[in-house]
């Protein structure tokens, strides 16, 4: 199989590019390295196009079987609307046009951010209410994709990722997963800081599961947009318990007031449509994912053997 992974030097894209390569695919990564880490691709041997998807000469690119579009400006705190929308929306249109022209399957990254503060569990048919310009840019992408699903012949699958964590995310600094940021605080000997009173919840999904969802999407019989989460919500307080267990620490949460007036208090994916449309169900619990990830990341000496499910 020949595949393109846009955003392939970023967190999820690099995990996906390496997994595809390990399965024998011929992979081209397109990434402008605006928010990437070259170390993520140190073992990658495919082709690299180090360019903005908005500037790639798509007409000159040969045919591929599948394109996985992960490239996006992913910093949710960016308030420059022009930059965010141009990058994420116009970039997506170019990728979509290329997929249609070359009859390639298109799997693209959407986000649970499109649901905003709608009550959990979030369903694909529920109200969409983006709270920031990043989430809005993802919603516009979904709308463009839905229109194309009605008029074009190709397979298009949108994946609304929930909160992804795992290897290859450290370059994202303040946009890295909450799991990584809290672990870094704990490793520095600091009490982990969370919003008062820690009962907010998130559906954290391990990056290996997200890679699997992308691969499963290729087998879908019909186009559509599905949630990619575990279906389980974990409170901030529970997350700190898990981190203390894995890191061998006993640091109590350091609560502070949430400065945001608009905030997603609870995310939890309804996973039914993903199971039906692409046959995807997550394999890692949040505990298993965190244990595997942080044990390897910090090279922890642990008596509790960490089992890899790959």
Contacting positions for ligand NAD (CB under 6 A)? 6-7, 9-13, 30-36, 52-54, 70-74, 87, 91, 109, 111, 161, 163-164, 172
Q: How far is the CB of 51 from ligand NAD (least distance, A)?
A: 7
Active site residue 108: no
Give the list of residues 6+ apart from residue 108 with CB closer than 8 angstroms, or none.
68, 69, 70, 92, 95, 141, 145, 156, 157, 158, 159
Per-residue DSSP letters for 137-170? HHHHHHHHHHHHHHH--S-EEEEEE-EEE-TT-G
**53-60 LR contacts (CB < 8 Å, sep 24+):** 53/6, 53/91, 53/94, 53/95, 54/86, 54/87, 54/90, 54/91, 54/94, 56/30, 56/94, 58/94, 58/95, 58/97, 58/98, 58/101
- The catalytic position among 134, 136, 161, 284 is 134
Rg (CA), the chain: 19
Nearer to ligand NAD, 255 or 297 (CB): 297
Q: How far is the CB of 20 from ligand NAD (least distance, A)?
A: 15
CA torsion sign for 199, 306, 9, 34 is positive
Q: How far is CA 84 from the centre of its chain?
A: 17
Nearer to ligand NAD, 32 or 292 (CB): 32
Q: Of 237, 162, 253, which Cα lies nearest the Cα of 203?
A: 162
Q: How far is the CB of 47 from ligand NAD (least distance, A)?
A: 14
Q: How far is the CB of 199 from ligand NAD (least distance, A)?
A: 21
Q: How far is the CB of 75 from ligand NAD (least distance, A)?
A: 8
Neighbours of 273 (CB within 10 A): 18
Residues paired with 202 in a beta bridge: 234
- Residue 227 contacts residue 273 (beta carbons within 8 Å): yes
- The catalytic position among 138, 172, 216, 273 is 172
Residue nearest to ligand NAD as judged by C-beta position: 10
Burial of 191 (0-12, 13-18, 19+ CB in 10 A): middle
Active site residue 172: yes
Q: How far is the CB of 305 from ligand NAD (least distance, A)?
A: 28
Supply the residues annotated as catalytic: 134, 172
């Amino acid at each position: 199989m020949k595949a393109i992974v846009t955003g392939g030097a970023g967190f999820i894209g690099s995990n996906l590019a390496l997994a595809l390569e390990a399965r024998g695919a011929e992979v081209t990564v397109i990434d402008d390295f605006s928010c990437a880490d070259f170390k993520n691709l140190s073992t990658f041997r495919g082709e690299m196009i180090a360019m903005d998807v908005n500037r790639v000469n798509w007409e000159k690119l040969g045919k591929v079987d599948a394109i996985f579009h992960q490239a996006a400006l992913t910093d949710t705190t960016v308030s420059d609307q022009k930059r965010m929308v141009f990058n994420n929306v116009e970039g997506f249109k170019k990728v979509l046009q290329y997929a249609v022209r070359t009859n390639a399957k298109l799997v693209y990254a959407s986000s649970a951010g499109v649901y905003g503060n709608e009550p959990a569990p979030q369903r694909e048919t529920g109200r969409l209410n983006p709270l920031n310009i990043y989430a809005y840019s993802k919603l516009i992408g979904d709308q463009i994709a839905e229109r194309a699903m009605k008029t074009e012949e190709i397979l298009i699958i949108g994946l609304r990722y929930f909160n992804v964590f795992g290897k290859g995310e450290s370059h994202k600094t303040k946009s890295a997963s909450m799991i990584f940021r809290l672990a870094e605080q704990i490793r520095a000997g600091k009490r982990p800081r969370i919003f008062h009173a820690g009962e907010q919840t998130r559906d954290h999904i391990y990056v290996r599961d997200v890679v699997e969802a992308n691969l499963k999407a290729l087998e879908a019989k019909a186009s559509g947009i599905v949630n990619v989460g575990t279906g389980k919500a974990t409170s901030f307080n529970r997350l700190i318990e898990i981190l203390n267990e894995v890191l061998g620490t006993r640091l109590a949460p350091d609560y502070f007031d949430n400065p945001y007036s608009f905030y997603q208090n609870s995310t939890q994916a309804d996973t039914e449509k993903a199971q039906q449309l692409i046959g995807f169900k997550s394999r890692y619990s949040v505990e298993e994912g965190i244990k595997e990830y942080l044990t390897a990341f910090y090279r922890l000496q642990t008596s509790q053997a960490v089992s890899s499910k790959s």
